[in-house]
Chains A and B, each alone.
Chain A
Amino acid sequence: MLNSAYKPPGESGLWNDFLMQLERTLAHVDAHPATVEYLTHPRRTVALTVPVQLDDGTVNFFSGYRVVHNIALGPARGGVRYHPRVSLGQSVGLAAIATIQSAVFRLPYGGAAGGVSVDPRKLSPGEVERLTRRYAAELVEVIGPDKDILGPDLGTGEREMAWMMDTFSTNRGFTEPGVVTGKPPQLGGISKRGEAVGRGVLYAVEAFSKFQDRDLSRSTVAVQGFGKVGRAVARLFSEAGARVVAVSDEWGAVYSPEGIDHEALLAHYKDTGRIEGFSGAHTIGRDALVGLEVDFLILAALEGLINESNADQVRARALVESAVGAVTADADEQLRRRGVPVVPDVIAGGGGLTMDYLEWVQNFSMFNWSEEHVWSAMQRRVAKTLEEVCTYAEAEEIDLRLASYAIAVDQINFSTHMRGVYP
């Protein structure tokens, strides 16, 4: 059925996974053929060359992308990634998942994604600034608070968002904070935005536990990934009373059945740059983390780390996909057959999305709510979405990912149908 779908050049793992999930969804919900065509083709792909003068005077060219997948529900919205593995195929896949995510959260956004194929750690701050400003300047015509809203992703943060906002605003001739989210609070961002993704995961797992009549404070947790999100997840779950028994990073993992002292681990990590060798826990192999018997295995690293080669080792009672595409479609099917629930990326990653939405709304009227108001609004939205998905999944006897996609596709189908095809 999806044979006519768009095929990006080169690597397209995430996009293919999305198409497989979509195909599964279309067997479950009715969608108009036009909706299917829209969803299987990105609406607009921009591929850019980003020339940057390096500090040594030479000029380097980088490849940049911005993909808008769908705008049936509102302006496109999605992150900007700086990573050597950024490709058109990856951007298309991330943009499609962003479409599904906004729809299941019932937020008035379509989906987009983009980035630059670059290792930002190899550039000086001045070089990153020139790269960022050139990338944003090239996109001025196609982005904007009512067209396509950029946000932080892997390799980008408040600093890059400030530069993008400034470049866009100065180009347009007036301050336009709503063109990017995840800005520093001084420029219209939300304070502690860096915690938003981690808190979103916590709130989703809390709501999931509640739905299953389980007590999060008596659960054990393993966290894959110790980057910005992984660190926040480990700390927030410890603070919420859960026992974080294992943590991994790029190089290794540590495990302690009694629970890991987060502050001590963080101190060790700051000293040595990795978590291996932490004296407060046993060092285990990085991949051994996947096989631990825990209540929740939280995937907060890169995409595709749970795949057909290791899915059979999973002993966790549930998986939580904080990183987009952490579970490949093949692995997802294996886990489904074994009855292991996966809280999918489109739900678990909703904290960042919801905070971006609240920031964007505030930017329209330049009026900021209090911090408590913002966080409790986010918590309510995440809990409500998770409850809706769980209820639907239970009634239809399907998995959470399929339930999320079904709700999302239904939303998009309705909106596409109502709007019709222009002209």
Chain B
Amino acid sequence: MKSEPLSYLPASDQGPWGIYLEQVERVTPYLGELQYWVDTLKRPKRILIVDVPIHLDDGTVVHFEGYRVQHNTSRGPAKGGVRYHQDVTLSEVMALAAWMSIKNAAVGLPYGGGKGGIRLDPRQLSPAELERVTRRYTSEIGILIGPKKDIPAPDVGTGQREMAWMMDTFSMNAGSTTPGVVTGKPIAIGGSLGRQDATGNGVFFTAAAAAEKIGLPIEGSRVVIQGFGNVGNAAARAFFDHGAKLVAISDVTGAVYNEEGIDPYDLTRYVAESETRGVLGYPGAEPLPAAELFAVPCEFLVPAALERVITEHNAHKVQTKIIAEGANGPTTPAADDILAERGVVVVPDVIANAGGVTVSYFEWVQDFNSYFWTEEEINQNLERVLREAFEAVWQVAQERKVLLRTAAYIVAATRILEARALRGLYP
């Protein structure tokens, strides 16, 4: 007998969950005997849909739809962010939860995967309304979450302010301070140092690990970065601090180029003071048409902005040796094939931008002990964890002769199903 398809998503339109299922299908042939357990990956462990009613500031009452999905907990408690966005759907939250399972397993963190969200446009609500939504939502999902059960974190539309409210609501309900129930909190209430730069530093650590494999030195090599927000900025500083030359950087306002190299600290100061709050007009470099950014010859290319920016239309123009995906899904499958043919190493997002969740993990570890590490300790451990993750993925890519992206999925699926097989079926 076969498992029936899920009844709560229309078979005709599975949305993002359908994309995830296709990815599972593609990795299944590589799983050997573990295929026996593969349905584990194709079904979320638990889904909770909650009604979130609040008083608006004008005295009326409005109801929102909230979700919390735990995709898998074989390797440890569920872990994943909470998204506030008007387009949030169940299918999307399910897929994001599953991708957290994959990411946590690929990096080797002791977590399963989870995700949550509320269908609302946070820009339409006042801070007090957002606080009421957050507190009510936390209370409603309180039966599922906890430091050993499921640990939410910030995502699109949420940040450390919302995490502080969640931590407070959960702690008040539990009757004791429980900082480990969410990560991404302000430092003052159990957050971790090093969080701001974590993803960008992680991009650098994994790119450097890839460079070692192909005998490429960091010192003196040329770097192009798309995006100068949190991730791009931290990655730029990390490359610069290790002696690389930042030849081109872009953001929404435009792109700048200097073959002698750009000082990211100086550029950051300029951005903070400039009228556009962007890199446009930076005097230390020449302007560059944004469309030409990916064609600039370099050794490292870091897309750290949007998804689907490297496509079959521009992949053949890329002049680099290593692409480290700071953003989620910047490279399309068609572009992947072109880049592979041209010998470009793509460090996939699953591990390249895992610095954030890894420092979330450190935050949670520190919250258990209420003993906090220095920023130096955070970064040393971050480098160790991500290097080990890269090494495991690289080995599989060599052995199975597949792209790093496929290898990361093989590593992740294998780890999840191995844990599933070891634990067996309860009771």
* Residues on A facing B (Cβ under 8 Å): 129, 133, 137, 158-159, 162-163, 165-167, 170, 173-176, 184, 186-188, 364-367, 370
Contact = CB atoms under 8 A, between A and B. Distances in A.
Interface in B138-165: 146, 148-149
Interface in B111-143: none
B426 interface: yes
A153 B288 CA distance: 68
B76 A186 contact: no
A62 B364 CA distance: 42
Contact of A365 (B76, B77, B369, B415): B369
B427 A167 contact: yes
A184 B422 contact: yes
A170 B426 contact: yes
Contacts of A162: 422-424
Q: Which 3 A-B pairs have the closest CB atoms?
A: A166-B423, A170-B426, A174-B148
Contacts of B77: 174-175
B365 interface: yes
A215 to B, nearest CB: 37
Given A187-B419, A365-B365, 13 more contacts: A159-B422, A162-B422, A165-B423, A170-B426, A170-B427, A175-B76, A175-B148, A176-B148, A186-B422, A187-B422, A365-B368, A366-B364, A366-B365
A166 B75 contact: no
Contact of B149 (A158, A174, A184): A174
A186 B424 contact: no
B73 interface: yes
20 contacts: A133-B424, A133-B426, A133-B427, A159-B422, A162-B422, A162-B424, A163-B424, A166-B426, A167-B427, A170-B426, A173-B149, A174-B146, A174-B148, A186-B415, A186-B419, A187-B419, A187-B422, A364-B368, A366-B365, A367-B365
Interface in B407-427: 415, 418-419, 422-424, 426-427
B220 interface: no
A8 to B, nearest CB: 31
Nearest to B366: A365
A184 B418 CA distance: 10
A129 B73 contact: no
Contacts of B422: 158-159, 162, 184, 186-187
Given A175-B76, A186-B419, A366 B426 contact: no
Contacts of B364: 366
A108 B77 CA distance: 27
A249 B362 CA distance: 47
Nearest to A164: B423
A186 to B, nearest CB: 5
